[in-house]
Amino acid sequence: MTPRRLAPPTARRALSLRVTLLAVALVAGLYAGALPVYLYFRISRPALALGAVTEAVAEAAEILARRDGALDHAVALVRRIVRSPTLPADSVKAAQRLLEIGEAPLPVQPDAPIPPDLRAALSHTDAAISRVAAALAVVIADLQAGRRPTTARLGVIDDLDQVADDERTGVAGIARSDLLTRQRALRDAAYDVQRDTVVWLVTGGLLLTVLVSVVRRRVWRPLRELEAGLAQVADGDLTVGVPVRGSDELGRLAAHFNAMTRVLSDRAEEQGRFAAAGELLAGVAHEVNNPLMAIAAHAENRLADPAFEGEQRSEMTQILRQARRATKLLRGLLRFVRATEREVTNVNLNDVVRGALDLVSYRFGVDEITVGGRLDASLPPVQGDVIRLEQVVVNLLANAIDALRAVTPPRNLTVDTWVQDAQVSVAVGDNGKGVAPEIAPRLFRPFATTKGHHGTGLGLYVSRQIAREAGGDLALTSPAGFGARFVLSLPVASVSAPDSASSAPAPAPAPASAPAPSPDAAGAQAAVGSLAGLRVLIVEDEEAVRRPMARYLTRRGAAVDEAADGVEGLARLRAQPAHVILADLRMPRMGGVELYAQLEEERPELAARVLFLSGDVSQLAEPGNTPVPRERVLVKPVELAELERRIVAFVRGPGP
């Protein structure tokens, strides 16, 4: 089977969001750019033309006015010279200089922006002024020669000057008329632009409304819906869905979001069932451990009787062996589902493999699976959390078992360990169908599963994360189509790393220290390996568990008292103290934790003598409970010989 993929549902074809946004930007840019172009051709060109004509006409008018003014001054100077009794040479020279100014021609360029009629009028005026200058030049020449000009000649100059003035007046009128015409045209263009600008702005507002509507429908609304959906997911609602409004990028994103929430919801439901199963297992563990301990304790007591022989002894041995086997499996399962605290220590991966095999071993016989492989006996330790590493191996074994169930026997599963290049490796392989090439690249992604609705799609992803957190990796090394082989590799623990406190996945609590019996205990110091002289109070609500322990401890020399719960235990302790108090953690009316807290308040010296019995040590971490040292907890079912050893070590305290 192929993994579930987060593929969007088939939707109608829609314009790509990128194309839509590009079109919106292009339309907005063209619209915004068209306005200055329009203004340039509608206003700027007439305004520039008006400015150019005005400048050219003003320049020509200024030259004509300067020439005409110079000639007028020259004529007036000549008249003064003529009326003077003498002919002053300086005045004649001044008149000559003024004449030179008046004789300068009008420099009108052929390409100058001057209307034809105005150009013709300027040409006539220039010619008229030139005629005045020519007549005046003859008069000045006579003065320079010492001859006085006649009155008639001066009258001719006055007539020519009047004609030039009339021509200048005509030029001014034509120029003024042309400028007024151009100004009216510019004003009309300004009115048109004002009108067109209003129309342009109204049209732009309508276009902007359309563009905003398009962007809102195609971008803002889908993004807002996605944001709201993500907020609901962040609040814990995994049933949320968002509308898929097309097949564009945001539509596909919405489809992926809906597929993701569906997968998350399915996985959350499955994880919730797993968590509930874990809680149920933890709760049932106490109830199952008590009968297991009762069975094992009765069997041990019977086997301790030398007169108990023959077939019955063999059968009782089998009962004890099976009870211990069930105990081992139950402890492994409880440890696996209730591991909450991470503890990085030096770990032997062979022990991790053995613990994981114990947890899944019940499936080997049912599914006709043969287990093989080789564990390297000289394997160096690695650093990691033993429970999390066991989780990785259990997941690999479970995947291999599921793969083998799909093929016909023979079904072979191999587990190997070795060390190479400072890397310790564990390989789990099978002779199943293998991993398809198209699945292999997605195998370690979250929610990628080959088990359909029966898998979470998180096992290999989480396993690889655990391996990488420990400094190693998890990889698929088998060729496609030839069975699957996964290799977990971790670096060898450094020499300076702390020594491992566990050589097995479930470390037994270390012997605890407790104060020696008080002097008022009638001098009852226990001899090594014997409980003689010790007074032991067993506080246990299950009689089937309490009675075998009492008989065994009595046979080993202890004076044993019994109580069915914490309330009765407190009463017996008030009547007569004990050297060791064995208290079950979970009991009616008052459990071991409450008993311990009460003793710490009333009799601290007795609280220091409490050893706890429990099938689920996770109760110790529950909020509100008095902190209890883990080394003072005996996990049920405990073997009677181990119980004796722990009591002796507890009473003796730490060695010198």
CATH at 470: 3.30.565.10
Residue 114, domain member (yes or no): yes
Which of helix, strand or coil describes residue 157?
Answer: helix
Per-residue model confidence (pLDDT) at position 526 = 36
Q: Confidence band (pLDDT; 50, 70, 90) for 277?
A: low
- As a whole number of angstroms, the distance between CA 230 and CA 236 comes to 10
Does 562 lie in the same domain as 451? no
pLDDT tens digits for range 43-75: 666 777 777 777 777 777 778 888 888 888 888
- As a whole number of angstroms, the distance between CA 58 and CA 157 comes to 27
Does 201 lie in the same domain as 60? yes
Does 571 lie in the same domain as 484? no
The arithmetic mean of pLDDT across residues 630-653, rounded, is 82
Q: Give percent of the chain above pLDDT 90.
A: 10
Does 369 lie in the same domain as 483? yes
Residue 317, domain member (yes or no): no
Does 571 lie in the same domain as 454? no
Of 437, 461, 491, the residue at which a domain comes to its end is 491
Per-residue model confidence (pLDDT) at position 515 = 37
Does 597 lie in the same domain as 476? no
Q: Are 535 and 559 in contact (CB under 8 A)?
A: yes
Location of structure tokens 């000009």:
149
Of 462, 491, 520, the residue at which a domain comes to its end is 491
Does 184 lie in the same domain as 108? yes
| CATH number of the domain to which 613 belongs | 3.40.50.2300
Does 56 lie in the same domain as 197? yes
| Higher pLDDT pick, 327 / 545 | 545
pLDDT at 382 over 90: yes
Of 169, 201, 221, the residue at which a domain comes to its end is 221
Residue 522, domain member (yes or no): no
CA distances from 96 to 23, 75, 139, 151, 575 (A): 75, 11, 10, 20, 152
Residue 62, domain member (yes or no): yes
Q: Give percent of the chain above pLDDT 70.
A: 79
Does 190 lie in the same domain as 51? yes
- As a whole number of angstroms, the distance between CA 414 and CA 397 comes to 9
Residue 500, domain member (yes or no): no
Between strands 580-584 and 610-614, the pairing is parallel
Neighbours of 408 (CB within 10 A): 7
CA distances from 190 to 43, 178, 194, 525 (A): 7, 18, 6, 118
Question: Phi and psi for 512 in degrees, rounded to 5?
Answer: -95, 160
Number of H helices, E strands in the chain: 17, 12
pLDDT tens digits for range 203-240: 878 888 887 887 777 777 888 888 888 888 777 776 77
Does 646 lie in the same domain as 539? yes
pTM over 0.85: no
The arithmetic mean of pLDDT across residues 350-362, rounded, is 86
Q: Confidence band (pLDDT; 50, 70, 90) for 318?
A: confident
Does 592 lie in the same domain as 475? no
Q: Confidence band (pLDDT; 50, 70, 90) for 5?
A: very low
CA atoms within 13 A on the CB side of 409: 8
Range of the domain at 557: 535-652
Q: Give the total number of structural domains in the chain.
A: 3
Per-residue model confidence (pLDDT) at position 140 = 81
The mean-pLDDT minimum among 139-153, 158-172, 618-632 falls in 618-632
Per-residue model confidence (pLDDT) at position 327 = 73
